[in-house]
Structure 1
């Protein structure tokens, strides 16, 4: 992957030569010569990267090229830093200027010397590559074919599940049998067979979800931390029953948490998946939280590469590799999009397929590579086949798969190689937020600018490419289907970690005693920073600290002397209360993450961070920004807010920040959330024509005209959130004559006399939340024809007695929530209305005493929830004689939930199923003591 380092250098340093780079004349010529030579050997590197594993001499040469590129980047960055200090307007005295002039002069001579050495090294590597006799592509720039669109990225895993039908059926029978005791079901097989994918399809099946109301998926992996996994289990269990974790649980030790889990599961039919278990020690620890005496037919599913990792196996399913027929079907599906393999490629495809050993992960990975090749160029396919080397025997299946996966990484376009290896910096237990990842890639300089679109949009394309190639997987989506987080298969992650370490791209430190490379460029530290104290970090570009447990009081000593070239600093969740002012001396810093810290104030010295693009203070305690923030002209994402949950209500109260007047000067801003509204700033917002997301709190009625005028100018706006200062304050947005037509998300919290007419013109609107509106007119009339609306939430929105969903209305709606509609008495759903609805929630509608007329027409409805609804309505839905039960019998999960001030009562209204052998009596609708909550 030296090509990636060289290409990055060329992309980032060439513009400096074209501008007024203040180099000595001879240095300027040396830099130009070095870049030209590296450009010449870049095409050769594409071939060398793929073949270096089988050629030790070639591997050494590739390392030399990469080191030259890294060293040159370091030399130029350090020199530019000296120039910045010299020209800093703060050094106004003659003595200071003289001192920094002399230092700059010394730096100029040093860079001349360094460049002469680098030039000599480039000469050496440039001459030596010819002796390897590799076929060099004719053109300098390889054209990578775009993978055919796979449609919804969430379907990629399902597309790989050739032959899953019988396997899934077998496991489903074990899960849903009539045996009442707890059973452990183990799925055993080597890595890459698709154990996790298979079990995940079973886990998400509606029949399984309907039977096991309490469920959790725990990813273990080789480097697990038992306390983290127990904490994760607690979080998931409380989430699935719709309850925030009580503070007392969070403060419990490991044994007490296990007892809490056990006590709760003892009275529930549960399904717990333990994915990727590596040793029996884990099972010995976790089983203490999973009651074995449960009589409700609970199940534990385990995926493991070693059958001996679980002490007791009630059921064991040995997952075998795909048959030759299944393997061929998967390869054709992924490579040729389901079309037959061209006859001229059949032999070579079978040859390649034999290397995969029937492993779905390997087949999917190599198919993604093949899909980018020119089907008319047989030589390209033959060359790829030779890359594998000789075919190995049955016992070398793992080695073959590692070769295939490595090849899939080597075949990536250079701009994706660094992006993918960057994923190795995140710990395996953490889902990777895609928007955060995109901002990090941009900060690192990995994203190639394209005319007419933003770097963020280019990076979203990178995410899509990695998904289409099967190198990352979707971990979470928003209610509108946008990819919220991603993950990496553990085998691919292991390869990425090893390559990152070998190529000095980055290092992950999780334990004591880890030796860092001499010139480490990216460092990810889990839990503790003790390991990196007094280390040479002068070449570091990115520093991540995850789940820091120890005090960071010594941490600022690393700044700025050691970390002067740092571009990314991510301290999410770190135990710090004060903004480390030393950070403000990091001139190159582009990404600063202080999310979920206890930081309260931002120092005025933040104005020194002239290259800062992302400032993430979400869920911190910052409530005011200094006026110096306006000096950060390159700032693109300013996130300063936190949520304050109001009981169980889906709507959250957002606490924003008081921003200084003049916010309009930050012309690069794309995301601004959440600022307190005042007339000066609301007027200034109209100058931010790059803005994609805007959040405003404490909005006042008198500022309506200023806000409307600004919103009309924000033609690129995708998300808008406005919350009034008080519930009764009016949000007057009627004066918008030309709303942003790309708007996708709209959140309006405040009193409105009428619904703004322009909302029904938002053809791209996907999510609409309305709160405290108190409309007299039925809002559905204006909203039902929005073609792309997928998620709609009402809270105290309408004061009428009835809602009518008419045939053909809301054609794309999937999630609907109706909360505290105090006068609502009836809901009617015509046949053909909201045809794709999957989740329907009613909350605190005290006069609604019957289910919606026509609810039986909602054939796609999977979840029906009733929060604090009248007993009269709930009793009609009882499976043991309720008059309306048949209307909701097709719904997979029906819940009734009661809020008791500090806890929940959760009832499943589908407690009786045909497979239940010991049904529990249906509880009366009454208040329960705290100790009897969560009866699922």
Structure 2
């Protein structure tokens, strides 16, 4: 309906803004350059010209990065991390101005967003763009330019190849129409063996004979709607130029060793891959390593000195050398560890020691999932020194801290925090409240210090917090006026017993929710007592009558059912808590059996 005018305005504005001081003659040239299209076709032609002009105005490096977007399926969501890693693997981004490749790639990505060429789709807990999508009006232009410049060839279900057979990048996108497998295979046989980049999405039976491509720099495989259960990639050890490898959606067999892939930077495989090459930790160029949940981690993690991202899960047979080796990864930016079982004390001690070493480096994100790290790790990390000053994300829910560590107050870049505290005090909560960049907080508390009784969110604290999750046996939160002025999402988790009132004077309901002026969503997760599950005689199930939307056997009217009293009590409590808020008229309640 808008005819693309908003994008045209944005495109022209970004061009003019980037020109600096301009004489009136230069403005005139930009105006007159669209004259012919405006006369012949005031909608399609003019829009295409404006977008082409915007494309031509980009610097050469940014134009190439923009053309690379044509390798993704049309109108799909593109993960920023994957895009940046592929740009670098393809050699499209170089170091300059004292910034490394990743910093330059981030600048390019943000530049494309600022020009509205790509639009953000998902925002992560740190407030950063996690995925994007090419603007609808730009898709055709980017593909046509990429094909025109012999940048890419595309094979899809149209049973034609768009682009030259001599292109160095091939994208194969097929849907679930398995009847056309033979036609698709005929098309794939025409792909030139000098190809250096292959991106495949679709049924694996449509995949080309990958062993023939010895010069690949990038191989990405995402399988769906396939009637073949497994795929053999044991020959990938011969792709000596490979820099980026990612596979999803199919049981895949990899070679036992890939030590010859000395340029490999990204090795990203999902849980469908069972065997991990034994020498993957000997690849000195490895920058991003993601392994399946139940995979055995090969030895030698300390040799990956270029590693920036590590996502793995440990198990009972993970050696203590692995935890000790983490401390040697001085370039590590993102660490995500999952544990499938209890960690022994010596491994916890080694992990804590390595994390402390990384604190003085460039660690930006730390996530510890599952496993039982208990108080041992928390007691050691209470004294993290030097503190990890560069952290933006700290998710350590499995680590139980005795109190809010003092070093957290120094994390002035921290935007997302998930933490578990054994006992919280007014001063400890104040440390969290004063974090200047915090956007997301998930706080679980075992006890509130007796003399504090309630947790008061003071006025003008948590200035930038947008989402707050709070877990304690009692929802003893009190919000003062002007507290959490930007909060949009509030989730409160507590135990069922507090719904029936207490005799110790501790409030059983959150208060002051009406002061959260920007609140858009509130929810409660209520942990039910064990007796609701087993219906013990000593604690009978209490019920109240209510009407269900379900009809009776004759299809007439409503059926009167009995609901447990905790449900009515929870609804009443949430209604009272939100009744004074002008924008919240209901909340979502979930019951969790402990």
- Normalising by the smaller structure, the TM-score range is 0.7 to 0.9
> What pairs with 1:413-432 in structure 2 (closer than 5 Å)?
413-432=59-78
2:327 aligned to 682, 686, 705, which one?
Answer: 686
2:263 aligned to 607, 611, 620, which one?
Answer: 611
How far off is 1:382 after superposition?
4.6
Match of 2:442 in 1: 793
Q: Is the 8 A contact 1:804 1:829 kept in 2?
A: yes
Q: Tell me the secondary structure at the aligned position of residue 258 of structure 2.
A: helix
Match of 1:525 in 2: 172
- Max Rg structure: 1
1:711 aligned to 346, 355, 361, which one?
Answer: 355
> What pairs with 1:165-564 in structure 2 (closer than 5 Å)?
189=1, 191-192=3-4, 359-378=5-24, 380-385=26-31, 387-388=33-34, 390=36, 392-393=38-39, 395-450=41-96, 452-515=98-161, 517-527=164-174, 530=185, 532-546=187-201, 548-551=202-205, 555=208, 557-559=209-211, 561=212, 563-564=213-214
2:385 aligned to 737, 742, 748, which one?
Answer: 737
* Shift in alpha-carbon separation, 1:755–1:424, aligned structure 2, 3 A: same
2:366 aligned to 707, 711, 720, which one?
Answer: 720
Q: Tell me the secondary structure at the aligned position of residue 605 of structure 1.
A: coil
* Shift in alpha-carbon separation, 1:803–1:884, aligned structure 2, 3 A: closer
How far off is 1:570 after superposition?
1.0
* Shift in alpha-carbon separation, 1:662–1:866, aligned structure 2, 3 A: same
Match of 1:634 in 2: 285
1:661 aligned to 299, 319, 327, which one?
Answer: 299
Q: Tell me the secondary structure at the aligned position of residue 713 of structure 1.
A: helix
Q: Kindly indicate which of the two structures has a greater share of residues assigned to helix.
A: 1
Gaps of at least 5 residues in structure 1 are 1-188, 193-358, 642-654, 902-936
Match of 2:179 in 1: none
* Shift in alpha-carbon separation, 1:861–1:580, aligned structure 2, 3 A: same
Question: Distance in 2 between the 1:399 and 1:581 partners?
Answer: 50
Deviation track 1:227-267 (CA, whole Å, cap 9, x = no partner) reads: xxxxxxxxxxxxxxxxxxxxxxxxxxxxxxxxxxxxxxxxx
Match of 1:827 in 2: 477
* Shift in alpha-carbon separation, 1:565–1:620, aligned structure 2, 3 A: same
Q: Is the 8 A contact 1:721 1:746 kept in 2?
A: yes
Q: Is the 8 A contact 2:442 2:468 kept in 1?
A: yes
How far off is 1:680 after superposition?
1.4
Deviation track 1:492-549 (CA, whole Å, cap 9, x = no partner) reads: 1111111112221113322142035230222222226535332132232221112x13
Asked if 1:846 corresponds to 2:487, the answer is: no
Gaps of at least 5 residues in structure 2 are 176-183, 500-507, 528-565
How far off is 1:458 after superposition?
1.0
Q: Is the 8 A contact 2:271 2:294 kept in 1?
A: no
Question: Distance in 1 between the 2:248 and 2:63 partners?
Answer: 28
How far off is 1:830 after superposition?
2.1
Q: Is the 8 A contact 1:835 1:858 kept in 2?
A: yes
* Shift in alpha-carbon separation, 1:885–1:468, aligned structure 2, 3 A: closer
Question: Distance in 2 between the 1:531 and 1:770 partners?
Answer: 55
Question: Distance in 1 between the 2:521 and 2:232 partners?
Answer: 44
- TM-score normalised by L of structure 2: 0.80
* Shift in alpha-carbon separation, 1:416–1:531, aligned structure 2, 3 A: farther
How far off is 1:892 after superposition?
6.5
How far off is 1:379 after superposition?
5.1
RMSD of aligned Cα (Å): 2.8
* Shift in alpha-carbon separation, 1:885–1:788, aligned structure 2, 3 A: closer
Question: Distance in 2 between the 1:622 and 1:776 partners?
Answer: 43
Match of 2:557 in 1: none
Deviation track 1:361-398 (CA, whole Å, cap 9, x = no partner) reads: 22221222122224344554454445435364374431
1:784 aligned to 423, 429, 433, which one?
Answer: 433
Q: Is the 8 A contact 2:197 2:217 kept in 1?
A: yes
Q: Is the 8 A contact 2:55 2:63 kept in 1?
A: yes
Q: How many residues align?
A: 521
Question: Distance in 2 between the 1:663 and 1:404 partners?
Answer: 51
> Which stretch of structure 1 is more off in the superposition, 857-866 or 568-577?
568-577
* Shift in alpha-carbon separation, 1:673–1:828, aligned structure 2, 3 A: same
> What pairs with 1:900-919 in structure 2 (closer than 5 Å)?
none
Match of 1:350 in 2: none
How far off is 1:640 after superposition?
1.9
Deviation track 1:545-575 (CA, whole Å, cap 9, x = no partner) reads: 12x13536x64x332x3x2222111112455
Match of 1:803 in 2: 455
Q: Is the 8 A contact 2:383 2:407 kept in 1?
A: no
How far off is 1:876 after superposition?
2.3
Q: Is the 8 A contact 1:705 1:735 kept in 2?
A: no
Match of 2:530 in 1: none
Asked if 1:855 corresponds to 2:513, the answer is: yes
* Shift in alpha-carbon separation, 1:656–1:810, aligned structure 2, 3 A: farther
- TM-score normalised by L of structure 1: 0.52
How far off is 1:825 after superposition?
4.9
Q: Is the 8 A contact 2:475 2:492 kept in 1?
A: no
2:394 aligned to 742, 746, 752, which one?
Answer: 746
Deviation track 1:797-848 (CA, whole Å, cap 9, x = no partner) reads: 55666433233332221101124x23x2522222232222110012353244
How far off is 1:465 after superposition?
1.0
How far off is 1:864 after superposition?
0.5
Q: Kindly indicate which of the two structures has a greater share of residues assigned to strand.
A: 2
* Shift in alpha-carbon separation, 1:592–1:892, aligned structure 2, 3 A: farther
> Which stretch of structure 1 is more off in the superposition, 787-796 or 892-901?
892-901
Question: Distance in 2 between the 1:810 and 1:494 partners?
Answer: 44
Question: Distance in 2 between the 1:466 and 1:888 partners?
Answer: 40
Match of 1:588 in 2: 241
Q: Is the 8 A contact 2:440 2:465 kept in 1?
A: yes
Asked if 1:702 corresponds to 2:346, the answer is: yes
* Shift in alpha-carbon separation, 1:752–1:783, aligned structure 2, 3 A: same
